[in-house]
């Protein structure tokens, strides 16, 4: 206990949990009390945000402050307390989760207004924030894992929020199963950590790791690779990323909060948290950075040819998460966390903006009773005339994600690219990663401009009757967008690099957390001349992407989705996402289903377990009974004879 | 003494009893054969008590008492069965067998 506002940290998750309990009760008691639900749902989040600000502003320790609440798992030498830890890294996450979370809760009030599951929605959303706070505040791997699983559960519940559609329920299940594969890695990593260091507390593990484990050895490599497997599941990286695009089946604010701003960044947070371990395992670091760079490029290519506005943003999220992993894998922990923060701002803005567009489209189609796809960009076009605020704010976010200075994304993305390039001076493989990420940056600028162009500019393709009903969303929805717009524009100020005579505030703020890995792995520094050159290249890439898309793409030539022609050739491959889902289906799902059905079910279960064991015993008993039936003649004489013969035999044995 | 003849007679009586139980159909005859076996055993007890002490003779009284009780119960059962079946033949007492 520190005697300052930091002691109140338990209040933040407790408030979210309270919101869940209250709204959860209202689901059963009075689901139509929407005003009460909104006040509770958004109110607890705003209160939690206030608590977070109070905690972070009064926190100034160099070491993590740990609060042990109760002994949770005391088993032999395994002693796990339910404990929260406040340090610089969890402080950043705390503010992002509660801050962006509050805005998205406020947006949801307008977006979900007409939904019959209003109370259930806010209950789930509050529960999600509770688990997310447990995840970022947990002071040991098991506590973090509780949050890790909890957010997975809420993600599943919210993806399948409109579960009456089979496709939505399937998307939820897919997300859950893909995450289970990753969680297996997380758990194995925990087992190895406990086995080698004898503890699961962050403090003990990270201080013992340099002595208990051999740097570069196979143990620490195994730990970090298994941890990263967990990250690929939660943070949607190759090879487990396929659930995230499907997760767009959930309500759009959910996509903004869970599948863009907070939950999917948990993997980046985990790597940053375990930066000591990753710094000790160069192979794993290279794997993290390599997978990140590859994912960044791969997802960006798919985003080029998607028509669903949310699918573009989903692949964009995967791509940006790849950047974050490139950053933390390179050892530039603060750059990765910086990009996580700015990405939370501009991607939440993009998703909420697309939510505002979908809201308008849906309302227009609802008015005219048309059954068109409200998310297909081919049905949009020219929306800037109807929704000027959304258009302007979306452009800010687009320029930010594309990396146009001086918006938020420019600084964070550039820092990651620079770090990778600098690492390349000693290990050339990092130059490859840098090149991949640079191409991905070009594609990012291109597909985001494409999205803006097709959605907001050119002629309108919604339909003659519908145009009259297209207009801006109410202020309760645009308000949070404006706040996020300001953050997307100015978020870069958090960490203006020294190159521009900035203070690199976030970098220094995070130093107590990143210091152990920085000691093991000194950050490579470039001459300021080459840094300026890199900045020039990055900016040029962004500009080429935007201008190229603006010149190449002709929104005038598009037709509405109903009558659009099929893509051919490579465009079709990209539209069909490189057929990764189909490949997984053929290589993993079908063989697994075949094995389960043909072998395990029809042979092992039905023949061996049911046939030989369960029914076999019964059949044997019946056969024995059938045989013995012939002895029971009912004739007393027979019984007496058997008795006499038996006595004679016993006597014969006894005497002879 | 007359030990060997006594034991021989006892064995013959016992075997007659067993054979009677095995081969006769009339329940009352079977019952009598059971009594025959009991008395054959009694004879053995008495004969052996001559050389081995008074225990055998005491045991004979027990056997007689039990045989008397058994006769009462057994005859009652036979009477009950006869009332039910109008027969005392073993062949008609096969209720335990199905079908």
pLDDT greater at residue A17 or residue A493: A17
> A8 and A55 in contact (C-beta within 8 Å)?
yes
Does residue B96 form part of some domain?
Answer: no
**A408-424 and A528-552 helices cross at what angle (nearest 10)?**
120
Note the pLDDT of residue A211.
87
C-alpha to C-alpha distance for A73 and A91, rounded to whole angstroms: 26
In this predicted model, what pLDDT tens digit does every residue of A564-622 receive, in sequence order? 888 888 888 888 888 999 999 999 999 999 999 999 999 999 999 998 899 999 999 99
Report if residue B29 sits inside a domain. Answer: yes
User: What pLDDT band is residue A191 in, cutting at 50, 70 and 90?
Assistant: very high
Q: With bands split at pLDDT 50, 70 and 90, how would you rate the model's confidence at A251?
A: very high
Q: Domain limits at B45?
A: 3-90
Q: What's the rounded mean pLDDT across residues A40-56?
A: 94
Contact A277, A209 (CB under 8 A): yes
pLDDT in tens, A314-352: 999 999 999 999 999 998 899 999 999 999 999 999 999
Q: Given this model, what pLDDT does residue A1 score?
A: 58
> What does residue A510 show for φ and ψ, rounded to 5 degrees?
-80, -5
- The reply to whether B28 falls in a domain is yes
Q: What pLDDT shows up at residue A268?
A: 95
Q: At a CB cut-off of 8 Å and minimum separation 6, what does A573 contact?
A: A579
Q: Check B22 against A632: CB less than 8 A apart.
A: no
User: What is the spatial distance between Cα A290 and Cα A270, in angstroms, rounded to a whole number?
Assistant: 17
Residue B97: predicted pLDDT? 63
Cα A47 from Cα A62, distance rounded (Å): 27
Q: State whether B94 and A637 contact (CB < 8 Å).
A: no
Are the Cβ atoms of B18 and A644 closer than 8 angstroms? Answer: yes
Residue of A nearest to B34 (CA): A640
* B91 touching A (Cβ < 8 Å): yes
Residue B27 sits in a domain whose CATH number is 1.10.287.3510
Which residues from A are below 8 Å from B when comparing CB atoms? 632-637, 640-641, 644
By C-alpha distance, which of A342, A314, A322, A299 is closest to A254? A314
Interface contact flag, A644 B96, Cβ < 8 Å: no
Confidence at residue A187, expressed as pLDDT on a 0 to 100 scale: 95
How many Cβ contacts (< 8 angstroms) between chains A and B? 23
Q: State mean pLDDT over A236-257.
A: 92
> For residue B98, what pLDDT is reported?
60
How many beta carbons lie within 10 A of that of residue A504, not counting itself?
19
Whether B86 has its CB under 8 Å from any CB of chain A: the answer is: no
Angle between the N-to-C axes of helices A636-655 and B3-23, in degrees from 0 to 180, rounded to the nearest 10: 150
Phi, psi of A276 (to 5 degrees): -60, -50
CB A224 within 8 A of CB A193: no
From chain B, pick out residues whose CB is under 8 angstroms from the CB of A641.
22
- Going by C-alpha positions, the residue among A159, A346, A380 that lies closest to residue A255 is A159
In this structure, chain A runs to a length of: 656
For the record, the structure tokens of A20 come out as 């869940």
Distance CA B84, CA B99 (A): 19
Instruction: Identify the helix (H) or strand (E) that includes residue A162.
Output: none
Q: pTM (2 decimals)? A: 0.83
Which of A633, A637, A641 faces B97 most closely, judged by CB atoms? A633
Nearest by Cα to A154 from A184, A175, A168:
A175
Q: Which residue has the higher pLDDT, A631 or A304?
A: A304
B90/A637 touch (CB, cutoff 8 Å), yes or no: yes
Mean pLDDT of A488-510: 86
Q: What is the least distance, in Å, from the CA of A616 to any CA of chain B?
A: 26
What confidence tier does A629 reach under pLDDT thresholds 50, 70, 90? confident
Note whether B33 and B24 are within 8 A (CB). yes
Share of chain A residues as helix, strand and coil, in percent rounded to the nearest 5 = 75, 5, 20
| pLDDT value at residue B2 | 81
Contacts of B91 in chain A (CB under 8 A): 635
The predicted structure's pLDDT at residue A564? 81
User: What percent of chain A stands above pLDDT 90?
Assistant: 70
Indicate whether B98 belongs to any domain.
Answer: no
> In the prediction, which pLDDT does A128 show?
95
User: In the prediction, which pLDDT does A216 show?
Assistant: 86
- The pair phi, psi for residue A74, each rounded to 5°, is -95, 100
* DSSP-derived 3-state class of residue A463: coil
Among residues A549, A574, A575, which one has the least CA distance to residue A564?
A: A575
In Å, what is the CA distance from A593 to each residue of A425, A589, A653?
A: 48, 6, 62
* Helix axes A388-402 and A408-424, enclosed angle (nearest 10): 10
- Mean pLDDT for A351-376 is 90
User: Is B95 contained in some domain?
Assistant: no
Count other Cβ atoms within 10 Å, centred on residue A607. Answer: 11
Residue B97 is assigned to a structural domain of this protein? no
Asked if the structure places residue B79 within a domain, the reply is yes
Q: How confident is the model at residue A485 (pLDDT cuts 50, 70, 90)?
A: very high
| Interface test mutation site (partner B, options A636, A644, A646, max chain B beta carbons within 10 A) | A636
Q: State whether residue A633 is helix, strand or coil.
A: coil
Name the E strands within A11-160.
65-75, 78-86
* pLDDT reported for residue B96: 62
Spell out which residues of chain B touch residue A632, defining contact as CB-CB under 8 Å: 96-97
Residue A233 is predicted with a pLDDT of: 93
Average of per-residue pLDDT values in chain B: 89
Contact A640 B22 (CB under 8 A): yes
The CB density around residue A654, as the number of other CB atoms within 10 Å, is: 7
| Closest CB to B96 among A632, A637, A640 | A632
Neighbours of A514 (CB within 10 A): 24
The reported pLDDT for the residue numbered A438 is 94
Residues of A in contact with B22 (CB under 8 A): 637, 640-641, 644
Quote the radius of gyration of chain A (alpha carbons, Å): 30
Give the mean model confidence (pLDDT) for residues A50-70.
91
Q: What string of H, E and C letters represents the secondary structure of A299-331? A: HHHHHCCCCEHHHHHHHHHHHHHHHHHHHHHHC
Flag whether B7 is in a domain: yes
**CA-based nearest residue to A357, from A378, A395, A386:** A386
Measure the CA angle with vertex B38, ends B33 and B42; round to 5°.
Answer: 140
Residue A632's H or E segment, with its range, is none
Q: Tell me whether B96 touches chain A (CB under 8 Å).
A: yes
Predicted confidence (pLDDT) at residue A357 exceeds the cutoff of 90: yes
- The Cα–Cα gap between A134 and A97 comes to 11
Residues of B in contact with A643 (CB under 8 A): none
Distance CA A105, CA A40 (A): 10
Per the structure, the count of domains in chain B is 1
Q: What is the mean pLDDT of chain A?
A: 91
The reply to whether residue A634 touches residue B21, judged by beta carbons under 8 angstroms, is no
The mean pLDDT of A140-146, rounded to a whole number, is: 95
**Rounded mean pLDDT of A346-369?**
92
Residue among A634, A641, A644 whose CB faces B94 most closely: A634
Phi then psi dihedrals of residue A73, to 5 deg: -125, 85
């Amino acid at each position: 206990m520190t005697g300052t506002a930091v002691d109140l940290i338990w209040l933040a998750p407790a408030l979210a949990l309270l919101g869940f309990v209250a709204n959860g009760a209202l689901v059963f008691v009075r689901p139509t009390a929407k005003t009460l639900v909104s006040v509770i749902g958004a109110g607890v989040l705003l209160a939690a945000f206030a608590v977070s600000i109070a905690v972070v502003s009064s926190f100034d320790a160099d070491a993590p402050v740990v609060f042990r609440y109760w002994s949770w798992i005391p088993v032999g030498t395994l002693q796990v307390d339910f404990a929260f830890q406040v340090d610089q890294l969890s402080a950043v996450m705390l503010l992002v989760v509660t801050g962006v979370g509050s805005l998205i809760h406020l947006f949801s009030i307008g977006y979900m207004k007409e939904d019959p599951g209003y109370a259930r929605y806010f209950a789930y959303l509050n529960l999600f924030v509770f688990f997310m706070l447990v995840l970022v505040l947990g002071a040991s791997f098991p506590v973090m894992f509780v949050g890790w699983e909890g957010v997975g559960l809420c993600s599943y519940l919210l993806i399948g929020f409109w579960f009456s559609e089979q496709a939505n329920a399937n998307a939820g299940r897919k997300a859950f199963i893909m995450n289970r594969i990753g969680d297996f890695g997380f758990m194995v990593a925990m087992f190895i950590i406990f086995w080698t260091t004898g503890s699961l507390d962050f403090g003990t593990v990270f201080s013992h790791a340099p002595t208990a484990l051999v740097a570069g050895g196979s143990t620490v490599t195994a730990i970090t690779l298994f941890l990263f497997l967990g990250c690929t599941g939660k943070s949607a990286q190759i090879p487990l990323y396929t659930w995230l695009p499907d997760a767009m089946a959930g309500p759009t604010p959910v996509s903004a909060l869970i599948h863009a701003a907070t939950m999917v960044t948990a993997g980046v947070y985990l790597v940053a948290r375990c930066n000591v371990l990753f710094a000790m395992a160069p192979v794993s670091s290279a794997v993290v950075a390599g997978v990140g760079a590859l994912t960044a490029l791969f997802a960006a290519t798919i985003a080029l040819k998607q028509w669903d506005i949310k699918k573009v943003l989903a692949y964009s999220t995967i791509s940006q998460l790849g950047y974050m992993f490139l950053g933390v894998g390179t050892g530039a922990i603060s750059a990765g966390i910086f990009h996580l923060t700015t990405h939370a701002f501009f991607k939440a803005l993009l998703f909420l903006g697309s939510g505002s567009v979908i809201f308008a489209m849906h309302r227009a189609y609802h008015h005219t009773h048309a059954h068109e796809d409200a998310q297909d960009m081919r049905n949009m076009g020219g929306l800037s005339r109807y929704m000027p605020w959304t258009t302007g704010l979306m452009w800010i976010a687009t320029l930010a994600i594309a990396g146009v200075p001086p918006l938020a994304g420019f600084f964070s993305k550039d820092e990651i690219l620079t770090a990778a390039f600098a690492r390349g001076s000693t290990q050339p493989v990092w130059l490859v990663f840098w090149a991949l990420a640079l191409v991905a940056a070009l594609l990012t600028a291109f597909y985001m401009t494409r999205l803006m162009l097709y959605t907001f500019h050119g002629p309108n393709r919604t339909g003659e009757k519908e145009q009259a009903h297209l207009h801006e969303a109410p202020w309760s929805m645009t308000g949070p967008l404006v706040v996020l717009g300001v953050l997307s524009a100015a978020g870069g100020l958090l960490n203006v690099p020294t190159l521009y005579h900035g203070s690199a505030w976030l970098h220094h703020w995070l130093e107590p957390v990143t210091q152990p890995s920085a000691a093991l792995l000194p950050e490579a520094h470039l001459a300021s001349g080459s840094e300026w050159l890199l900045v020039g290249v990055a900016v040029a890439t962004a500009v080429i992407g935007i201008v190229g898309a603006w010149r190449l793409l002709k929104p005038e030539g598009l037709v509405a989705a109903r009558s659009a022609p099929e893509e051919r050739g490579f465009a079709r491959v990209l539209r069909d996402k490189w057929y990764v889902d189909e490949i997984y289906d053929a290589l993993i799902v079908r063989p697994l289903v075949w094995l389960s059905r043909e072998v395990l079910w029809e042979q092992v279960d039905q023949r061996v377990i049911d046939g030989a064991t369960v029914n076999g015993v019964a059949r044997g008993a019946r056969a024995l009974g059938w045989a013995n039936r012939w002895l029971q003649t009912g004739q007393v004489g027979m019984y007496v004879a058997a008795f006499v013969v038996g006595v004679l035999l016993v006597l014969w044995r006894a005497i002879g | 003494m007359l030990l060997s003849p006594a034991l021989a007679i006892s064995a013959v009586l016992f075997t007659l009893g067993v054979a009677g139980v095995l081969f006769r159909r009339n329940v009352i005859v079977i019952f009598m054969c059971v009594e025959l076996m009991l008395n054959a055993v009694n004879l053995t007890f008495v004969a052996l008590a001559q050389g081995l002490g008074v225990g055998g003779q005491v045991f004979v009284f027990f056997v007689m008492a039990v045989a008397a009780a058994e006769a009462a119960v057994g005859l009652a059962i036979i009477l009950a069965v006869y009332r039910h079946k109008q027969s005392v033949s073993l062949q008609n007492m096969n209720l335990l067998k199905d079908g």
